[in-house]
Amino acid sequence: MKKSIIWSLLAVVFSFAACQEPDALIPAIANKGINNLTVYPTWEGYHTADQSGFSSVIDYEKRVITIQVPYNIPVESDVVTNIEDYKKVWALFNLDDNATLEPNLTTLDLTQTYKVTLTDQKKEKSVWTIKAALAKSSGCDIESFTIPSLGLSALIDKSAGSASLIYFEELENVFGEVVLSPHATIVPDPAKTAFWCAPGSPKKFTVIAQDGVTSREWVLQQTEPARVEAGIRPNSAQLLWTAKLSSLGVSTLNMTTGIAATDDNLIIHTRGTDPIVIDAKKGTVVGSISLGSIGGATSSYYMTSDHKGHIVINNRTPDDGGVFRVWRMRDLNSTPELFIEFPTTDVYGDHISVWGDVYGDATVQAAYCGWTSTGTTSNITWTVKGGQTVDMNPYWCQITGMSKGWTNGDAIRLGTDATADYFACGYSANELGWISGTTNTLQSSVFGVLTNNEGMKAVDAVEFNGVKYVGATMETFFTWGVAGGMWVMEAKYPQTFNGSLELDASLDPDCVVFALDRGDGGYGIYGGRANDGVNGNAIQDVKLHVTSDGYFMYGYFMFCNGYVGCVQFDCIAQ
């Protein structure tokens, strides 16, 4: 009886098994057998599966796979690659589903030629050859195109093969500087052959790749690109360059106080020496300027610029006597002209800030910069109309509502009226406040809370593509402090201007559109403490500059004894 039951159960099990459908054989998408082979160099047995992989070219008719070893490694170098250096690389084959190789190669010696047998999905076999060869670059792009004599930089659109200049006059007998894909050449070479271009007549160039076979035609055209609806183009911020002050010729510590910006140049001011002029887009030294009779450690204490790129210089009181003075310069070749004189025994001069045009309409603002135990939030503003100071006696005001202990800071109006709203910051609460210009009360704040007792002492602001932006820096003057922070923030409304600047940049408030890398542990990369010496006076500066064509905004930062750098933003619709 038991045997009958058992046999009955087995019959039921087998009947269910017989009813099940077999697993479907899903064909591969490519159906080529071998779809790709990438190899990765190894060092001391470690596999480096990253961007260092070498791709392959597959000849399906001859069944030959050729591994493309770059002719130069890195590609921009002039050193020719030695394949002998790649006797062990990891091989990563991309095969169709259910296809196999024999032998199953996991590593290759690129100096050798291999024969492998491929068994495809249909179980058909074929013999393939695998070898390596040096491959010259096929890159034939224009990375940048500039006309130095006119200070023009083209907008590069690689998808369209175009370089667009925002310039609406005829270009005649001009030379250009071009950066190409590594080892590529351009015909005609704009650096050697003068060319002509006009708004309705673009200039064509051919870029030939290193391999001598691949080429592409590029068009240099004059155009006015569309803008995004308002403000900067999202994600357009890029750190163009950074340079240590000492590498640019600053040889003294604790004396570099300010920076000024034009469309073409950034000027670095170090007290008691001629200001250094560097290329604004490259960060390389191009010269210096003389301040003549006003040059001195306290007589020309600080330098900045207005929204038009005019240079503004001031002394420091009472170190330079009992009169606070401000000079202005139209350009790098001008002689400083006295602009403002204000008798005072108070401490002014660490910073001044300008909104507008000092040869047109502007406000010039200075915050009290003395060190006090109780702090002060007083500041003074001069109004400029038609290039003339309305009154040498400035409008004085005191901020209410900011954190206790606020002192030694900076402030800038958001307009050319003495009662326009303004931003102010200072030591030691590290509070950047949005202040009502009519009541002088705090409306909202962004706090720098990296650690206690840092110095948020520099602020600047501009309007770019219809939106106001404010930049601020924070730097330590202690051996233990966090160093070298710089932020650019959107200043649309006081209600959206709030939050805290954190060690973790991902936690910064929504109004932040750019934050400088804090480095490991937030201790900074670009500040004095991390470089040539602790910034004893927490001297720092920030400058926002909008180019005259209105398409670019540059954010510059400077940390005494540390670095100066440039961040580029644009509003070009893409």
Domain 238-570 has CATH 3.40.50.300: no
Report pLDDT for 162.
94
238-570 and 142-222 share a CATH fold? no
Distance CA 33, CA 94 (A): 9
- Asked whether the beta carbons of 118 and 535 are under 8 A apart, the reply is no
Distance CA 4, CA 520 (A): 76
Distance CA 162, CA 217 (A): 9
Question: Residue 485 corresponds to which amino acid?
Answer: G
List of residues 6+ apart from 91 with CB closer than 8 A: 37, 38, 39, 105, 106, 107, 108
> Which residue in the block uniquely carries the two structure tokens 């030691």?
428
Report pLDDT for 324.
98
Q: Where are the domains of the chain?
A: 34-135, 142-222, 238-570
DSSP 254-271: S-EEEEEE-SSEEEEEET
C-alpha distances out from residue 570 to 11, 35, 163, 515, 551, Å? 77, 41, 16, 16, 6
Report pLDDT for 568.
95
User: Which 3-state string (H, E, C) describes 344-387?
Assistant: CCCCECCCCEEEECCCCCEEEEEECCCCCCCCCCEEEEEEEECC
Count other C-beta atoms under 10 Å from residue 160's C-beta: 11
Report pLDDT for 243.
96
Q: How many Cα atoms occupy the beta-carbon half-sphere of 454 within 13 Å?
A: 30
Q: What is the CATH number of domain 142-222?
A: 2.60.40.2340
* Peptide bond before residue 428 is cis, with ω within 30 degrees of 0: yes
pTM, entire model:
0.72
Report pLDDT for 451.
61
- Asked whether the beta carbons of 143 and 163 are under 8 A apart, the reply is no
pLDDT tens series, the chain, 574 aa: 333 333 333 343 333 333 444 444 444 455 789 999 999 987 654 444 445 789 999 999 999 999 999 999 888 899 999 999 999 999 999 999 999 999 999 999 999 999 999 999 889 999 999 999 999 999 999 999 999 888 788 989 899 999 999 887 889 999 999 999 999 999 999 999 999 999 889 999 999 999 999 999 999 999 888 899 999 999 999 999 999 999 999 999 999 999 999 998 999 999 999 999 999 988 999 999 999 999 999 999 999 999 999 999 999 999 999 999 999 999 999 999 999 999 999 999 999 999 999 999 999 999 998 876 556 788 999 999 999 999 999 999 999 998 766 677 899 999 999 999 999 998 877 889 999 999 999 999 998 766 656 788 999 999 999 999 999 998 888 777 766 889 999 999 999 999 988 777 777 899 999 999 877 766 678 998 888 988 887 799 999 999 988 999 999 999 999 999 999 999 988 7
- Asked whether the beta carbons of 221 and 152 are under 8 A apart, the reply is no
Rg value, the chain, Cα: 32
- In sign, the C-alpha dihedral spanning 97, 103, 105, 109 is negative
- Asked whether the beta carbons of 414 and 423 are under 8 A apart, the reply is yes
Pairing assessment for the beta strands 353-356 and 185-187 based on DSSP bridges: unpaired
Distance CA 139, CA 180 (A): 9
Distance CA 155, CA 143 (A): 10
Distance CA 421, CA 497 (A): 13
In terms of residues, how long is the chain? Answer: 574
Distance CA 65, CA 112 (A): 13
C-alpha distances out from residue 160 to 163, 307, 360, Å? 9, 34, 41
With 0-12 CB in 10 A as exposed, 13-18 as middle and 19+ as buried, what is 196? exposed
User: Which 3-state string (H, E, C) describes 436-453?
Assistant: CCCCCEEEEEEEECCCCC
- Please give the angle made by the CA atoms of 540, 505 and 565, to the nearest 5 degrees: 35
Closest listed residue to residue 43, CA positions, set 99, 97, 85, 72: 85
Report pLDDT for 374.
55
Which class in CATH covers the domain with range 34-135?
A: mainly beta
